[in-house]
Chains A and B, each alone.
Chain A
């Protein structure tokens, strides 16, 4: 094979599969933009009619769903990242008895999917009268998020030159100040990547919300969309608009911070 031909084949494959990845997404956006009540067809483009979004927002309560999702995401990502930074710091830069074993326990947690613990979680939280509250959505997701976050931040702290920590200590800085004043500024890219991934996973979470929440006002965006689909499967353009609303926050963030998303995901990041 000549180099020219290799090049052509490479770009042909890239082009075809990029197009395939893009088409359904563009299709649903075009569908959402169609005129309501017209002859709807998936993926047909007939101008920019925003009234479907308005209808979905009003009839579908998407405003409420987005608010619920927002509350859960802010709480989960905020708390998980602070706790993960602290735990990652301990694992990455401190020596203490049992640290290896404890770390492996966290690693194990990365491989436990929500699907496997959802049953006891439901009964445990019900006994605590926490089902059908935001707590039931927030606490378990912090639990799974810190497993990933700790793993991620430990990798960062291990790459910090020891001379830096040593210098801070000689200057008399406590371990607490060293972490937040000296190391955190350096950790910013790693922290951002972690936050972006946690945001995406938490926003898109479905099973936990399905099981834990019965109140409509507590439904998160993906759960709301699932119920909306059940009620409006015949109204194509309305359903498409709802789907676009639910996907938009993560996709917009992705467009701006794609480097962080991709860096995190190709490193093999998983969350239980």
Chain B
């Protein structure tokens, strides 16, 4: 996008046009009324202790303090961080594995693989949840049956009901949803790297590993940034999957911030706290998106 900016002045004909505002107005009104205003309202609500019915009580920033001091809340944010490993880091590693192998290969039939790899993305999260609850079923789920079939019956578990395993089990569903996107993105990127770069590296006596770190990885910075942004945001806002698989359980082993927002606002009557969690989520998403893109830009400028 950067080189295009230089030509903007030549391309926009004529003087400033007031009529532009009119074209913007309808979209902006709806956007303002149903996104910006609620966000502001959320900030306001987050400063109160309010049960949604009786009059609220001003508590200042206490609700934000709770994010750090309330054990239940703090652990929900820790769970979100762990989920980022499953939603973002693992898919990008899988994508890099393929990109590394495919760097010097003309991949035929990639269109077909692309369609299949993207399939989990278009299936509604509720359907994904239904599907994986069946797969993880402790009694006759295919995962446990497969383990028994290969003589590993000792490893069978109640995957979504076990305190230690439930969070990784939910996380792996996220990995399943997102690795296709990372693979497609990174492989499309690697196919654009000029083959001469690899030939040059090879002439210099670079092994495949060195080639990967010297050529492939730096060239893919932009694609990695896009993949990480999308998947990290998905991990942070993850509500549908948690609600439809574990409802945060067992105990609060899989409780995440987005689930706490729902739980507190609509079930336990802690509206102020729920709003503060929502605002915190937005802040975290802003910071992470900003950092990832800074990292990508810096690489591009080099």
Q: Which residues of A contact B (CB under 8 A)?
A: 1, 3, 6-7, 9-10, 13-14, 17-18, 20-22, 24-25, 27-28, 31, 41-43, 83-84, 86-87, 89-91, 93-97, 99, 102, 105-106, 109, 111-124, 139-140, 142-144, 146-147, 149-150, 158, 162, 165-166, 169, 175, 200, 203-204, 206-207, 210-211, 221-223, 225-226, 229, 233, 236, 239-240, 242-244, 246-247, 250-251, 254-255, 258, 261-262, 265-266, 268, 270, 272
Give chain B interface residues in 120-134, CB to chain A under 8 Å: 120-127, 129-134
What is the size category of the interface that chain B forms with chain A? 35 or more
B101 touches A251 (CB 8 A): no
Q: How long is the Cα–Cα vector from A111 to B185 in the complex, in angstroms?
A: 21
Please name 27 pairs of A and B residues whose Cβ atoms are closer than 8 Å in the assembled complex, sorted by A: A10-B102, A13-B97, A18-B113, A24-B132, A28-B130, A42-B142, A83-B30, A89-B23, A90-B20, A90-B23, A90-B24, A116-B261, A119-B261, A120-B39, A120-B42, A143-B33, A158-B11, A204-B125, A225-B124, A229-B244, A239-B130, A246-B124, A250-B124, A251-B123, A258-B115, A262-B115, A268-B230
A17 touches B275 (CB 8 A): no
Given contacts A17-B183, A226-B244, contact A112 B35 (CB under 8 A): yes
**Looking at the complex, which of B67-75, B150-158, B280-288 is the stretch in contact with chain A?**
B280-288
Give chain B interface residues in 164-184, CB to chain A under 8 Å: 176, 179-181, 183-184
Q: Most chain-A Cβ atoms within 10 A of its Cβ — which of B41, B101, B145, B266?
A: B101
Q: B295: CB under 8 A from chain A? A: no
Q: How long is the Cα–Cα vector from A222 to B244 in the complex, in angstroms?
A: 10
A84 touches B281 (CB 8 A): no
B36 touches A105 (CB 8 A): yes
Q: How long is the Cα–Cα vector from A252 to B42 in the complex, in angstroms?
A: 38
Contacting B26 at CB < 8 Å: which of A83, A118, A244? A83
B101 touches A113 (CB 8 A): no
A118 touches B278 (CB 8 A): yes
B127 touches A225 (CB 8 A): yes
**Looking at the complex, which of B81-89, B213-221, B233-241 is the stretch in contact with chain A?**
B233-241
Chain B residues within 8 Å of A1, by CB: 208
Encode B227-264 as 1/0 by CB contact (under 8 A) with A.
00110010011011001100000000000011001100
B19 touches A109 (CB 8 A): no
Give chain B interface residues in 6-34, CB to chain A under 8 Å: 10-21, 23-24, 26-28, 30-31, 33-34
Chain A residues within 8 Å of B14, by CB: 95
B132 touches A143 (CB 8 A): no
Q: Most chain-A Cβ atoms within 10 A of its Cβ — which of B114, B124, B258, B282?
A: B124
Chain B residues within 8 Å of A117, by CB: 35, 38-39, 42, 278
B13 touches A119 (CB 8 A): no
Q: How long is the Cα–Cα vector from A123 to B285 in the complex, in angstroms?
A: 24
Min Cβ gap A4→B in Å is 10
Q: B201: CB under 8 A from chain A? A: no
The main secondary structure of chain A at its interface with chain B is helix
Closest A residue, CB atoms, query B211? A1
B26 touches A206 (CB 8 A): no
B124 touches A121 (CB 8 A): no
Q: B271: CB under 8 A from chain A? A: yes
A115 touches B237 (CB 8 A): yes
Q: How long is the Cα–Cα vector from A258 to B281 in the complex, in angstroms?
A: 32
A25 touches B122 (CB 8 A): no
Given contacts A95-B12, A95-B16, contact A262 B118 (CB under 8 A): yes
Min Cβ gap A100→B in Å is 10
Chain A residues within 8 Å of B274, by CB: 119
Encode B177-202 as 1/0 by CB contact (under 8 A) with A.
00111011100100000000000000
Chain A residues within 8 Å of B281, by CB: 113, 115-116
A21 touches B180 (CB 8 A): yes
Given contacts A121-B38, A206-B126, contact A10 B101 (CB under 8 A): yes
B101 touches A9 (CB 8 A): yes
Min Cβ gap A198→B in Å is 13
Q: Most chain-A Cβ atoms within 10 A of its Cβ — which of B17, B19, B31, B35?
A: B35
Chain A residues within 8 Å of B34, by CB: 121, 139-140, 142-144
Closest B residue, CB atoms, query A117? B38
Q: How long is the Cα–Cα vector from A77 to B286 in the complex, in angstroms?
A: 27
